[in-house]
Structure 1
Amino acid sequence: MTTGPSTPGDSARAAEDPAPTGEDLAALLARLLGETDKTQKDLAAEAGIKYPTLNAWMNRTRGTSRINPDDLRALANILRGWGVETTPRQIFEAAGRPVPGPTDVERENRLLEIYRQLPARSQRALLQTAEAMRQATSAA
């Protein structure tokens, strides 16, 4: 487990991220839940995640590579709503997932508008390209 910044640029990020580097999702969630009076069941219910699924992540019996990014964002938002100091970046990194850029409704709507204007063949090609981009990002 890494205990501190390993490169000069990491020191600024370490100052804004309170979680020790190297924590996996199970360890991070256990630590953060320990800062509250809430349970895994509370977290699962409020985040809209099935309790057995969250429990499997926390017991490391289910991998984290396929967790929906919206679920990871929800975990961060719920925990922050409970007064826990965490960031979406910490949650994504602990899950071993690339941190997606911020969602922007305007950009999403523009992309959807463009998609709807394309013929079916081009829509399929766009989806294939987007899926390839997502997979390449996940593998990085």
Structure 2
Amino acid sequence: MSEANNLKTYSTEIANLINKLDITDVLTRDQMIGQGFEEVTAYSYKVGRLTMAMDHASLCTNNRCCRGFCFSIKRILKHYGECYHLDCMECHRFNMVVFEHSVFCGDSRTCKIPGCLSIARANGRISDTAVEPCTSTQ
């Protein structure tokens, strides 16, 4: 992949956390948009377990949680949600996990995973004009 050669590491801490998760493949935003939801097969074992851990970490409020990779994934999700570098190696490596999650997410509009809603919209799962759920109590 020539595109992977142009990617940079902006956070060595996040790079080390992603290395611990053994994520080596790179998935660009264009590749995520190019893959239709009907073309995706069932989870691989590795991505599936990371997706389940990410689902837990996105909702977990325990700062001392010792459930598999919870602390690491919380830090990665924070970086993933705040990073603005289009050439960030760590975000491109984590895209695979977020994409797999978005394929099977029950409600992307209320999902806590950064990028889930935008991936669902980009792949036509949710229309661009879909109204966000109302949280008003009136």
TM-score when scaled to structure 2? 0.26
Using the size of structure 1 for normalisation, the TM-score is: 0.26
| Higher helix residue share | 1
Greater relative CO, 1 or 2 (CA 8 Å, sep 6+): 2
Rg larger in structure:
1
